[in-house]
Amino acid sequence: MVPSYISGKENIVFGNIEEIYHFHEKIFEPEICKYASGGDFLPEDVGHCFVSFGDRLAGLYVEYCVNKEDSMQILVGDTENFFGRLQLRYQLSEPLQSFLIKPVQRITKYQLLLREIRECCDKSSAGELSEGLDVMMAVPKKANEAIHLRMLQVDPSTMSTVSCARIFSMSFFAILLDMILRL
């Protein structure tokens, strides 16, 4: 039986992971597989998938990353114990948090994949690979921006002094980092 303190919070714990799964299973993976099967396609064409589906990929993963903050807050204490018992009962190799971080890790795996394919290709034909890599490099930046924006939209009357200081320091750091990157 699901404890009352997490009952009804499935959407917070799991976010849009099911939507990400269905997108990959029904749309993205079949498209990528076209390039793996050869035919008229070249390895360089893989970048086209990332360019074509860039907005959808970014939207899904940014939403997941923003929700991940709330998910992590729920998965502590008694909730962690509950999922730990489920892990033992169903003999899962890893705790729930390990599974929930996989979509975030996938972003960097896509970046690595696109870099490796680009390095193996002729520079003159690697245009869409570079564009696809740019798309995936932008996802973590967009996620951080969305997280910061969400933090700034919190009702200040319900926040502690520590929370306000944390938001200020994170925002200041983001602005400073942006200024440094522009130099």
Q: Is the pTM of this model over 0.95?
A: no
- The CB-based long-range contact list for 174-180 (8 Å cut-off, 24+ gap) reads 174/144, 174/145, 174/148
Distance CA 3, CA 75 (A): 13
Yes or no: say if 177 and 171 are a contact pair by the CB < 8 Å rule.
no
Distance CA 53, CA 38 (A): 21
pLDDT of residue 70: 85
No. of helices (H) and no. of strands (E), the chain = 10, 0
pLDDT of residue 174: 58
Q: CATH number of the domain at 10-152, please?
A: 1.20.900.10
Distance CA 118, CA 121 (A): 5
Identify the segments of the chain with pLDDT beneath 50: 162
pLDDT of residue 139: 94
- H-type alpha helices, 53-160: 54-74, 78-89, 96-100, 102-120, 127-152
pLDDT of residue 65: 92
Distance CA 117, CA 113 (A): 6
Residue 13 to residues 21, 35, 56, 57, 86: CA-CA distances in angstroms?
15, 35, 22, 20, 15
- DSSP label at 121? S
